[in-house]
């Protein structure tokens, strides 16, 4: 594969389109260990921008960061019954340390509820110590069998928030607050529209009382779980003895939550906005927001053009900007290259532009002539800011329209079966595991979430016809 | 241990003073796995400030961040002879994944030269791909036997830079540039004076041609290696086949470097500046730069005082500020508490201050009356900025004076032996491993570094009397 080979279109082979984009745009690469990835500088810069946008929101809602250990005694996982059942098959186990066989094997954290629960039981003594609102940025390992870059890898990067509260109500409010933070981030930073909802019991986190999720529709209409927030009740507090003296001087178990968003979200960004030319990055997260390409044919033109380029670079210093002045490739090559890498806005400056004191602009989100315009070099920063805002909005609107166009309201089971072959089905469900399992067995579609926004009425289950309180989204998912 | 127990003085028991400070100030705690630590929010906030200060410098010198995998095939380590000898005894080995015994055991990275070398051999094809200037923030695991929070833990956090270059000269320049970045960071952010120098062959990184270090003197006069930068020559390029086509279309092995600074540096900050009251944090890195303590005896006084406090909080919004308005503890308790936690500047506001439109200030670096003053509430931000600058400078000067007072220039071997019991010895050395080993065996002092700044003459080895080209620092070390 070289970068001159043609990218498959999304329609031809969405999966292969994705794999090639990730590698060609140098977002990530395969590591020598099966299922592990290397996040390359361009991909990591995108993750750093995601981190920044989330971290600001976490801190604004009173959270602080900390770091808990990578290695956890195996016995810890066994303290919460559902948790161990969920994670046991996926563990990486360290059995040798410093040349000796360990007395107790250690697992590499697949998630940190257990080790953090252990520490919280040490730190929390009184209601005055609550709430504890801690987040951690780090890596975890889950021994997945079928892996894909960003979407499912043995090691991945994420943040995991872990909070402890004095009351159930407060913990539930925190769970929902962080779900809202995720939705706000997805929509307002990544331009990825999401549906906020509740997971079914079958799909919830192992050890949670309730799990909430934000679900996004990818370009092939499959769903991608993009962030989750769990109300853990007193399950982990009881397993790890997190108790505190309450206002009446009585011992109580704390109520805990956990919530996480991972490098998987990069997959959501790629598959929501990308097109047949490659990546399309949302401006607020793009590592490079503006690429400037000088165009000239002679040394004389070059010096003229580069003078303008430097002025533009200075004027746009407030943006993440790159000037591509590589002498060894043509402007045409550069256009294609940066298009493939998803840079939101391209600025071209040639001798004619210099003469007119203008620049040529090309929006990544609108291919061809329709996305092109000219702008005066005067007040360029203001114009660029406006265009980047417009791109953000237009990406969001387009993705939302795509989701709406591909979300169906089936009236009977055959319509549901048909709908999930090419979209989401938003249907009444009686909430029985049997009906959920039947759909999954017969269509491969799972319940993605019971949206928080529900119609003001009840209905009949699309599968069994029994009364249904709420509608659910059925979809094939990543 | 409760926070009302008296802290041991540094003179009584420096080691116990350190251990208690780390835990009382809630910088870190022991994890349930031997030798592992939990970095608590206050400690992590300090690390985040260290990360920010370094990351800015890395990016300003053209580096980008990326993430390489945690798990490395065991065979990779064996490809560089000295590297495997250095790290084999310290490995954590994963032998089970997803319930099955692995065909090839995986090690948890103790450092990433091998896995990064493997990826570079894939990515680097031509001189046009060089230099590659990548840094990674992450965690590594080394199975240490004797551990201490921050100073030596099984898992620790760090950054590791890994660069590849077309020529030896360029790689050597990079190695020295990053050493300078570390020294600049230590001095200008942490107020920790350091000596930049070369490691002896015995003390260098396993696999390096040359290792450079910054060495700092702790409050008990021991040395702490605070950051290292390695010129790796073509050792790893040959082991991992990192070759490129040069300008003459000939294949060449690349020249590589690596450099790292870890959470160990937090230990350096604690042991350089701390006093018998606890932590003293350098203002540019302190998670809380200014703590405001309202003082009142009645509800009426309270509302008066809190009005001033809120005005001051707004005025000082550009600083990392905390208002301690806990009703359940006295101002005296708060003074001691924030002193112990090392906050550089305390502001007290009581009814008298309100009446005079002033505040009372207490500098953490100057205990007692001498560190106290009053300031008008007018232009408070400007005054606070100046005081924080003064504190930074005074911490640096004090630490430098302490190092100078405890660095000796022994004239003969008995003086050397005596000097290293209570300080550093800066002495001529013939650079033979035998003389180095003799000093270590007889005094426990090791060669810390051959300083880059050297006198304009030669001398005689302090141990064997033979001609010596350069002076070295001998010291007991952490």
Residue of chain B minimizing CA distance to A74:
B33
B73 chain-A contacts, CB cut-off 8 A: 32-33
A95 chain-B contacts, CB cut-off 8 A: 93-96
End-to-end CA distance of chain A: 26
From A63's Cα to the closest Cα of chain B, the distance in A is 10
Residues 6 or more apart whose Cβ sits within 8 Å of residue A333: none
Tell me the pLDDT band of A4, cut-offs 50, 70 and 90.
Answer: low
Locate A440 and state its tokens. Answer: 């999954």
Share of chain A above pLDDT 70, in %: 99
Which of A70, A92, A128 is opposite residue B139, by nearest beta carbon? A70
Give the number of beta-carbon pairs within 8 Å between A and B: 164
Tell me the pLDDT band of A6, cut-offs 50, 70 and 90.
Answer: confident
Q: Contact B378/B357 with Cβ under 8 angstroms? A: yes
pLDDT for residue B6: 84
**In B109-181, where do the E strands start and end?**
132-141, 155-165
What is the distance between the alpha carbons of residues A241 and A234, in angstroms, rounded to a whole number? 10
- Inspect the interface and report whether the beta carbons of B139 and A139 lie closer than 8 Å: yes
Tell me the pLDDT band of B5, cut-offs 50, 70 and 90.
Answer: confident
Nearest to A121 by CA among A259, A236, A258: A236
Q: How many other β-carbons are positioned within 10 Å of the β-carbon of residue A326?
A: 12
From A144's Cα to the closest Cα of chain B, the distance in A is 8
Q: Dump pLDDT digits (tens) for B386-411.
A: 999 999 999 999 999 999 999 999 99
- Inspect the interface and report whether the beta carbons of A139 and B96 lie closer than 8 Å: no
Q: Is the pLDDT of residue A2 over 60?
A: no
Q: Dump pLDDT digits (tens) for B85-109.
A: 999 999 999 999 999 999 999 999 9
What chain A holds in terms of domains, given with CATH numbers, is 14-273 (3.30.930.10), 290-385 (3.40.50.800), 408-475 (3.30.110.30)
Average pLDDT over residues B326-350: 96
Q: What is the model's pTM?
A: 0.97
Helix (H) / strand (E) element for B217: namely strand B210-217
Residue of chain A minimizing CA distance to B135:
A41
* Beta-strand relationship, A459-460 and A467-468: antiparallel
Q: Is the pLDDT of residue B72 over 90?
A: yes
Q: Tell me which of A92, A109, A146 to substitute to probe the interface with B (most B C-beta atoms closer than 10 Å).
A: A92
Q: How far is CA A10 from CA A4, A7, A366, A402, B152, in A?
A: 18, 9, 17, 15, 51
A313 — alpha (psi -120 to 50), left (phi > 0) or beta? alpha
pLDDT for residue A1: 41
- Inspect the interface and report whether the beta carbons of B106 and A45 lie closer than 8 Å: no
What is the distance between the alpha carbons of residues A309 and A316, in angstroms, rounded to a whole number? 10
Locate B99 and state its tokens. Answer: 């319930």
Q: Dump pLDDT digits (tens) for A375-392.
A: 999 999 999 999 999 999
- Inspect the interface and report whether the beta carbons of B92 and A73 lie closer than 8 Å: no
Q: Is the pLDDT of residue B381 over 50?
A: yes
Q: Is the pLDDT of residue B2 over 80?
A: no
Nearest to B426 by CA among B403, B400, B443: B403
B106 chain-A contacts, CB cut-off 8 A: 33, 92
Q: Tell me which of B93, B99, B104 to substitute to probe the interface with A (most A C-beta atoms closer than 10 Å).
A: B93
Q: Which residues pair with A164 in a beta bridge?
A: A132, A256
- Inspect the interface and report whether the beta carbons of A118 and B64 lie closer than 8 Å: no
pLDDT for residue B4: 55
pLDDT for residue B1: 41
- Inspect the interface and report whether the beta carbons of A71 and B88 lie closer than 8 Å: no
From B140's Cα to the closest Cα of chain A, the distance in A is 9
Average pLDDT over residues A279-298: 98
- ipTM (interface predicted TM): 0.96
Mean predicted lDDT score pLDDT of chain B: 97
What is the distance between the alpha carbons of residues A98 and A286, in angstroms, rounded to a whole number? 43
From A41's Cα to the closest Cα of chain B, the distance in A is 5
């Amino acid at each position: 594969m070289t970068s001159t080979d043609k990218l498959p279109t999304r329609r031809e082979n969405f999966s292969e389109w994705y794999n090639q984009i990730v590698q060609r745009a140098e977002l990530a690469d395969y590591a020598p260990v099966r299922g592990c990835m290397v996040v390359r500088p361009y991909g990591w810069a995108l993750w750093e921008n995601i981190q920044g946008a989330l971290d600001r929101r976490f801190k604004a809602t009173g959270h602080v960061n900390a770091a808990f250990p990578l290695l956890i005694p195996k016995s810890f996982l066994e303290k919460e019954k559902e948790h161990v059942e969920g994670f046991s098959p996926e563990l990486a186990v360290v059995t040798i340390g410093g040349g000796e066989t360990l007395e107790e094997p250690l697992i590499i954290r697949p998630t940190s509820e257990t080790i953090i629960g252990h520490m919280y039981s040490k730190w929390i003594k009184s209601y005055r110590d609550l709430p504890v609102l801690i987040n951690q940025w780090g890596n975890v390992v889950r021994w997945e069998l079928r892996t894909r870059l960003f979407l499912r890898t043995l090691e991945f990067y994420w943040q995991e928030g872990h909070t402890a509260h004095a009351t159930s109500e407060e913990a539930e409010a925190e769970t929902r607050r962080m779900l809202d933070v995720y939705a706000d981030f997805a929509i307002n930073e990544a331009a990825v529209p999401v549906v906020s909802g509740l997971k079914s019991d079958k799909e919830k986190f192992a050890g949670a009382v309730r799990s909430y999720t934000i679900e996004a529709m990818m370009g092939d209409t499959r769903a991608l779980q993009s962030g989750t927030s769990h109300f853990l009740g007193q399950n982990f507090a009881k397993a790890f003895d997190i108790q505190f003296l309450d206002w009446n001087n009585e011992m109580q178990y704390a109520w805990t939550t956990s919530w996480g968003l991972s490098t998987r979200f990069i997959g959501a960004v790629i598959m929501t906005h990308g097109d047949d030319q490659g990546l399309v990055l949302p401006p607020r997260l793009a590592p490079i927001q503006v690429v400037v390409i000088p165009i000239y044919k002679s040394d004389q033109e070059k010096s003229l053009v580069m003078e303008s380029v430097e002025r533009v670079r200075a004027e746009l210093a407030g943006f993440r900007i790159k000037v591509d002045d590589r002498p060894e490739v043509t402007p045409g090559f550069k256009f294609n290259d940066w298009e493939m890498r998803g840079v939101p806005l391209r600025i071209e400056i040639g001798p004619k532009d210099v003469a007119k004191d203008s620049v040529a602009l090309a929006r990544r989100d609108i291919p061809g002539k329709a996305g092109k315009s000219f702008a005066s070099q005067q007040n360029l920063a203001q114009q660029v800011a406006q265009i980047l805002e417009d791109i953000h909005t237009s990406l969001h609107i387009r993705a939302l329209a795509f989701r709406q166009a591909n979300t169906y309201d089936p009236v009977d089971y055959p319509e549901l079966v048909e709908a999930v072959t090419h979209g989401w089905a938003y249907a009444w469900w009686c909430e029985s595991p049997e009906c959920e399992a039947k759909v999954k067995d017969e269509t491969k579609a799972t319940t993605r979430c019971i949206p928080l926004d529900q119609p003001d009425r009840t209905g009949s289950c699309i599968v069994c016809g029994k009364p249904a309180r709420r509608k659910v989204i059925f979809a094939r998912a990543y």
